Structure 1
Amino acid sequence: MSGRLQSKVIVVTGGSSGMGKAFAQRAASEGAKVVIGARDETNGNRAVAEIRAGGGEALFVPTDVTIEEQVAVLVNKAVTEFGRLDGAFNNVGGTSLGKIREIGEVFWRDTIDRNLTSVFFSLKHEIPAIVASGGGSIVNNASTMGVIADPNIAAYVAAKHGVIGLTRSAALDAAREGVRVNALVTGLVDTPLFRESARNPEIQQYFLDMQPSGQIGKVEDVAAFTAFLLSDDATYITGAALNIDGGVTAK
């Protein structure tokens, strides 16, 4: 295989399904060696098997990215197995519903840990490894909720706004060391998690009505854009929050 990501070693958190899996497959198809970190061992191993069956190189490392020691193991495994680290797609996250006055401390901390602290741990360990390899690129998957807000989702909005702020700070911290860091402002995407939340036809229609384009994004759309940002075609892009949302935030 050959392509823009030829011989690059890339870590993908949350790479066992959805956008993470689609990107892992895209990266491998463009020549990258992919290291998938996720809690779901069954789907993680299946994702690796599918990449290998297509002729790509991939490795699965069981990882809970809310635990710093496990993130360190993930990054170290990438370096020890493949000799370097060139990039990462920090993709783990999950929506949590609840009004500010209704949510408890455990709910708040769990939401922040899953969506924001996980990105902090990932950046903390990825950046030194990428610097040691001569530079590279990191993409953090934020959300439209990182730049706007909806009711009943306060903890998630706070976390995703934090991801964008953290991305910009990390980009400035690492700019002179050859590491680029960007965030995706991702809209509604047809993932297993989205399909689960949109089983009701009325909810499906509600989501469609939100979209200026009248359609939900595909995981392949996110995978292609992420591959570009992690490639050498995007060497002048850093510290950016880039919309891939079908026009939702243009309204």
Structure 2
Amino acid sequence: MPKFLKDINLKGKVAVVTGATKGIGRSTAISLHQVGASIIAIGRNKNDLSSLKKKLKIRIQTIMCDVNDYEKISREINKIKKIDILVNNAGTNLPEPFLKVKKSSLETLLDVNIKAAFNIAKLCTDKMLKLKRRKNVGGSIIHTSSMFGLVAGPNRSVYSMTKFGIEGLTKGMAVDLAKFNIRVNSVCPTFVATPRAKKYLANKEFKKYVLSNIPLGRIATESDVATAITFLSSNASSMITGTNLIIDGGWTAK
């Protein structure tokens, strides 16, 4: 009988995870490690990187760097011998009503969510293509987007603009890189119980608004997103490229 169920097995694969010190990035690094991948964790906080390295113990390298520092991130990525998977996760949000968006907020969101995401994707893709057998072994790039890259939300006009841009980048890269057998997808979570989101959700009115829009009636966990990213990283998703995996409990289905 043929085997239809493909294993999620990343032994021998090298995965770069940006924004790896907290939240979705940290959980994703742990999840990928659990299925055999070697992890290169990129983040800004030395103590958090050390904590992650201590937890995983083996098959992990850490790089302390701000994703906006192109010169340093370029040098560090060029030092890596091989990359098979990129989880382009680093991002930020500064909720403000459209009419009150500060110039500094606009520039920060564009720099981190668009410019840095593009630069890292390009640097890692260039490194991926240095492997002569790339077309045979394949590769996977996953951008952390948001449900607000698909629909709008209050006080998130600039954030939505950047995440809609990530959706466009995902599709464009997928088309251009398919000939190299490098798949490119995004994940689009709803509100996730990360340290940052918990601050917003501490507001009872805001939490009520969020839960009222999620048909499943609960906030997503870091594991919900990390599991989806791990699936997209593996050969279990070998025919999936140029699309998004929506992890929103039904928010965008309405």
- Fold agreement, TM-score > 0.5: yes
Deviation digits for residues 141-189 of structure 1 (CA, Å, limit 9, x no counterpart): 0001101111321111100000110111111111111211101111111
Deviation digits for residues 207-230 of structure 1 (CA, Å, limit 9, x no counterpart): 222211001111111111111111
Q: 1:117 corresponds to which residue? A: 115
**1:31 is aligned to 2:29:** no
Q: 1:59 corresponds to which residue? A: 61
Q: 1:68 corresponds to which residue? A: 70
Q: 2:150 corresponds to which residue? A: 147
Amino acid at match of 2:167: I
- Equivalent pairs, count: 243
Q: 2:130 corresponds to which residue? A: 132
**1:237 is aligned to 2:235:** no
- In 2, the alpha carbon distance for the partners of 1:211 and 1:3 equals 29
Question: Percent identity between the aligned chains?
Answer: 30
Q: Which 5+ residue runs of structure 2 have no aligned equivalent?
A: 1-6
- In 2, the alpha carbon distance for the partners of 1:76 and 1:50 equals 26
> Given that residues 88 and 137 in structure 1 are in contact (C-alpha distance below 8 angstroms), is that contact kept between their aligned partners in structure 2?
yes
Query: What SS does the aligned partner of 2:246 have?
Result: strand
> Given that residues 4 and 31 in structure 1 are in contact (C-alpha distance below 8 angstroms), is that contact kept between their aligned partners in structure 2?
yes
- In 2, the alpha carbon distance for the partners of 1:225 and 1:200 equals 28
- In 2, the alpha carbon distance for the partners of 1:74 and 1:138 equals 18
> Given that residues 13 and 89 in structure 1 are in contact (C-alpha distance below 8 angstroms), is that contact kept between their aligned partners in structure 2?
yes
How big is the shift at 1:3? Answer: 5.7
Q: 1:246 corresponds to which residue? A: 249
Q: Which 5+ residue runs of structure 1 have no aligned equivalent?
A: none
- In 2, the alpha carbon distance for the partners of 1:167 and 1:118 equals 14
Q: 2:229 corresponds to which residue? A: 226
Query: What SS does the aligned partner of 1:25 have?
Result: helix
Choose the corresponding residue for 1:7, options 1, 5, 12: 12
> Given that residues 190 and 218 in structure 1 are in contact (C-alpha distance below 8 angstroms), is that contact kept between their aligned partners in structure 2?
yes
- In 2, the alpha carbon distance for the partners of 1:170 and 1:12 equals 18
Give the TM-score taking structure 1 as reference length.
0.92
Moved over 4 A (4+): none
> Given that residues 16 and 41 in structure 2 are in contact (C-alpha distance below 8 angstroms), is that contact kept between their aligned partners in structure 1?
yes
Give the TM-score taking structure 2 as reference length.
0.91
Amino acid at match of 2:74: A
Choose the corresponding residue for 1:50, options 41, 46, 55: 55
How big is the shift at 1:76? Answer: 2.4
- In 1, the alpha carbon distance for the partners of 2:174 and 2:8 equals 25
- In 2, the alpha carbon distance for the partners of 1:151 and 1:174 equals 35
- In 2, the alpha carbon distance for the partners of 1:136 and 1:194 equals 31
